[in-house]
Amino acid sequence: MRPFRPVLLLLLLLVFATVQAQTKPPARKQLTRLLFVMDASNSMNAFWENQPKINAAREVLLRSLAEIEGQPDLEIALRLYGHQTRIEPGKQDCDDTRLEVPFGPKSIPAIRERMRTVQCLGTTPIARSLLRAADDFPTCSDCRNIIILITDGIEACDEDPCAVSRALQAKGIILKPFVIGVGMQGDEKYSLQCVGNYYDAGTPAMFDQVLRLVISQALNNTTTTLHLLDVNGKPRETNVPVTFYDQRTGQQRYNFVHTMNQRGEPDTLTIDPLHTYRVVAHTIPPSVRENVAVKAGEHNIITLDCGQGDLELRTEGGLGSERDIHAIVRKDGMDATLHVQDLNSTERYRVGRYDLEVLTLPRLIIPDVDVKQSAVTTIGVPQPGVINIVPTAPGPGAIFVKDGQELRWVVDLDPTAARHQFRLQPGQYKVVYRSDSARQTIYTIEKDFTITGGQSTTVNL
């Protein structure tokens, strides 16, 4: 039985590995951190319907927190402002902002207790509170850092909360904040829209509804499909790499290859609705859409014009072996290089017109190449021939193609080489050469020759 022991051991190892794979815990979801920046200034003592604003706000906030308490991959913190120094005529404390409850998996009971004892005393330093809030988030490379600002007034310390918010977002410290205006009046309710996603809560009941909506948006990703449209407006393009960039920071958020599902429809994506995106489909040239917003709690459809066709470059009458010859592809009428394609290959391009410069000897210019939707545009390049030039001795010289009475330079001879070989397009040529040992111009030699595709020609000098 000894010979079977290795087999038995191998079977046991395979069973163990299978059990380990099946019992491996799922990957941890991205941690979301919500920082509530709460107005506790003196104005929150004003009555809102039948009770002070702070009482109504406290009830709604604590009720909402109770509904998400214990949710995994979520941490909550609380910063208050305007609650430490009583405001006096001609005097206000613009440093009156403090992190009262730091982030932690069980911070909600502490928030509940602190909100029950808070007193509304001072001014409204919104900008400084946002600035200090940047340090409230412990270092984390992939956390979603979200601020929910709840206020009943505007900035009172002659600072710019909008500029602070933009700077924090640009640095990637926070995502775009949510701002809830509690019973704000007139133009005040629009003054904080530049800070983040602004919601106006005119009544306690509306505040309850808005806060639930904001928390839902902060915690939930949503579904999206990306429709890559052909020239007929149909979502039929696919198999294209796509990148979603954060529009504000430029950071890559998602990379994937566009896919059709089993029903032949664009596959569904899960996208974070808290970002505004720059969507790039990596076609040739790229298909780009700026400032794409995703609505939370809904299924979103993002469309991108992306019609494509194929461009085939092939050698006429040859065996298709000249893949070391390249073609520069430019958009019609443009000088910049868009792409470089090998001869005897096929690649996809956006529908449109292109100019080609095939790097044969001599170069072949092909303007106004029309790439059409879902069609193959074939460009034939004549099969080259081979010229062998055998000089009596090394020396300088060049090959020219005859263009009527004009000579157009094609390539120089290597003045140190004993012989030369080039692959040239079919046509009429002239070689002009002088031996390196000949010190007079009259010893220049010139000879005409003809190149035929697929054939070899030898010129002795």
pLDDT (tens digit, 9 = 90+) per residue, 210-242?
898 888 888 876 889 999 999 999 999 999 999
Residue 86, Cβ neighbours under 10 Å: how many? Answer: 16
Q: What is the CATH number of the domain that holds 291?
A: 2.60.40.1120
pLDDT of residue 378: 95
Closest CA to 389 of 355, 340, 359, 431: 431
Residue 88 in domain? yes
Same domain, 353 and 442: no
pLDDT of residue 446: 93
Residue 36 in domain? yes
| d(C-alpha 119, C-alpha 45), whole Å | 9
Residue 21 in domain? no
pLDDT of residue 199: 87
Q: What percent of the chain has pLDDT over 70?
A: 92
b/e for 247-274, b at 16 or more Cβ within 10 A?
bbeeeeebeeebeeeeeeebeebebbbb
Same domain, 284 and 321: no
State the residue range of the domain holding 373. Answer: 308-382
| d(C-alpha 200, C-alpha 182), whole Å | 7
Same domain, 254 and 214: no
* 211 burial type by CB count under 10 A (0-12 exposed, 13-18 middle, 19+ buried): buried
Same domain, 376 and 389: no
Same domain, 215 and 68: yes
Q: Which residue in the block uniquely carries the two structure tokens 């009583």?
A: 86
**End position of a domain, from candidates 265, 286, 305:** 305
Same domain, 120 and 235: no
Same domain, 80 and 68: yes
**End position of a domain, from candidates 265, 281, 305:** 305
Residues of the chain with pLDDT under 50: 1-4, 7, 10, 15-27
Count of domains observed in the chain:
4
Q: Give the containing element (helix H, strand E) for 213.
A: helix 204-219
Residue 13 in domain? no
Residue 1 in domain? no
Residue 15 in domain? no
Same domain, 178 and 273: no
| d(C-alpha 248, C-alpha 277), whole Å | 8
Residue 57 in domain? yes
* 22 burial type by CB count under 10 A (0-12 exposed, 13-18 middle, 19+ buried): exposed
Same domain, 85 and 152: yes
Contact, 352 vs 416, CB < 8 A?
A: no
Same domain, 169 and 263: no
**End position of a domain, from candidates 382, 411, 431:** 382
Which amino acid, residue 16? F
- The per-residue pLDDT for range 94-130, each reduced to its tens digit, is 999 999 999 987 899 999 999 999 999 999 999 999 9
Residue 11 in domain? no
